[in-house]
Amino acid sequence: MKMKQSGFSLVELVVVIVVVGLLAVAALPRFLDVTDEAKKASIEGVAGGFATGVLSARAQWEAEARPQDSTNTYNTVDYDGVDFWLTSSELDSDFRDGYPIALNNTGSDYPDAVTDGACIDLMENLLQNPPQVGTVSEAESDSNIKYSAQANGTDSTCTYVQKEGTTDHEFVYEIKTGRVTVTLQ
């Protein structure tokens, strides 16, 4: 008895390869878009956590009956074991009361203006597990830094820019009002 071998012909294999190639070409843009969507979700999550930290520090200050320093001039609060200087409408009428402006380290004076260092300190201490953050120049030279922090003393804001990939997603903390705004590029 003669056995007949069966299998795929060369034409059938070429057709299958072409169909799989077309499917891959059609699906590839969707997979590339997933990376950008993940970066957007990442910065929205970090900004949301930051906003929650800002509001939690303010809520702690309210719950403790609005404590001030020993001179009864500057608002301060111990939030999660870290002392923060908070905004005061009595010192500047453009500010609302009780939003973190800088760390209140032992012996430190109330800040005259917002600095890059203060913005970094806020990110590192308001978030439980913060991403690596540094100044703009540090972020350019160190690939481990995921966010750059830049202060704008005129507007009293901290701008945090995501440094992953080529996107310029950012969020801005407006110290005057406690508002956190995300901008996706």
SS3 sequence, the chain? Answer: CCCCCCCCCHHHHHHHHHHHHHHHHHHHHHHHHHHHHHHHHHHHHHHHHHHHHHHHHHHHHHHCCCCECCCCCCEEEEECCEEEEECCCCCCCCCCCCCEEEECCCCCCCCCCCCHHHHHHHHHHHCCCCCCEECHHHHHHCCCCCEEEEEECCCCEEEEEECCCCCCCEEEEECCCCEEEEECC
1 band by pLDDT with thresholds 50, 70 and 90: low
30-34, 77-81, 112-116, 118-122: least confidently modelled range: 30-34
* Mean pLDDT of all residues in 80-105: 93
Share of the chain above pLDDT 90, in %: 68
- Tell me how far apart the alpha carbons of residues 48 and 25 are, in angstroms, rounded to a whole number: 36
Q: Does residue 38 register a pLDDT over 90?
A: no
Q: Does residue 107 register a pLDDT over 80?
A: no
Q: pLDDT tens digits, residue range 45-74? A: 999 999 999 999 999 999 999 999 988 889
Q: What is the pLDDT of residue 166?
A: 77
Q: pLDDT tens digits, residue range 134-181? A: 999 999 999 999 999 999 999 999 999 999 877 789 999 999 999 999
- How far CA 129 is from CA of 21, 50, 132, in Å, comes to 42, 11, 9
Q: What is the pLDDT of residue 106?
A: 77
